Amino acid sequence: MHPWNAEAVQRAMQVYLVMGSVNTKQDPMEVLRQAIAGGITLFQFREKGTGALVGEARITLAMRLREVCSQHGVPFIVNDDVELAVAVEADGVHVGQDDADAALVRARIGDGRMLGVSAHSVDEARRALQAGANYLGVGPMYPTPSKADAHAVLGPAVVAELRAAGIAVPIVGIGGITPDTTAAVMAAGADGVAVISAIAGAANVCAAAAQFAAAVRGMQA
């Protein structure tokens, strides 16, 4: 399985699409294909919220989206559900502070899969790294329409705080990020942006993803 060294993880963080069927009015498979055409570098299957698929339908969608990612060489991450990640041979799992214990997740998935952990403070970040996280998802950067139970808005300043505290692992900012605010998130020290609505909900998904890719690249020059 792919060795997820820090450099490979950092590259994957650049434009990270997070999506489930409830985040788009279009066919999720087509949205994913368009987002890949626009330049996303990582995909997370996050099937939750009102109206989310359950049971076989959820597993089938996961397998289909996983296949699209495989066809295009885009790594595939599963949100929350470690057993689903193993079942569909995902490249990794993302867990939050209220999900399964990160150290237990690491033990279950082994070293070959990527482990992402949500962190809102230096303390949470240090514990996540201790547990074996490959990257941190940090946010919300801004108010988000996509997560009803989101943590209070932290802003890009929290990323700068983590960097100042010596947290060197790849960081992706999440929450309410648009192409226009990407520069501020990157300038604070993030390696990329994780996005739901501004890509999955866009009328032109490919163009939206391309705008994020250009904004991220602009900060790397």
Ligand X SMILES: Cc1ncc(COP(=O)(O)OP(=O)(O)O)c(N)n1
Instruction: Show which residues are catalytic.
Output: 46, 118, 147
Q: Which partner from the list ligand TZP, Mg ion, ligand X, none does 144 bind, CB cut-off 5 to 8 Å by kind?
A: ligand TZP
Are 14 and 171 in contact, with CB atoms under 8 Å apart?
no
Of the candidate residues 9, 40, 141, 174, the single one contacting ligand X (CB under 6 A)? 174
Residue 124 lies near ligand X (rule: CB under 6 A): no
Residue nearer to ligand TZP on the CB measure, 4 or 16: 16
Are 116 and 99 in contact, with CB atoms under 8 Å apart?
no
| Alpha-carbon dihedral angle through residues 178, 209, 133, 49, given to the nearest 10 degrees | 70
Of the candidates 211, 207, 170, 197, which has an alpha carbon nearest to the alpha carbon of residue 75? 170
Of the candidate residues 9, 18, 169, 205, the single one contacting ligand X (CB under 6 A)? 18
Q: Which residues pair with 135 in a beta bridge?
A: 116
Of the candidate residues 21, 34, 41, 79, the single one contacting ligand X (CB under 6 A)? 79
Pairwise CA distance, residues 109 & 82, whole Å: 8
User: Residues touching ligand X: how many (CB under 6 A)?
Assistant: 17
Q: Report the chain's C-alpha Rg in angstroms.
A: 16
C-beta of 72: minimal distance to ligand X in Å? 20
**Can you give the binding site for ligand X, defined by CB under 6 A?**
16, 18, 44, 46, 48, 79-80, 94, 96, 99, 116, 118, 137, 147, 172, 174, 194
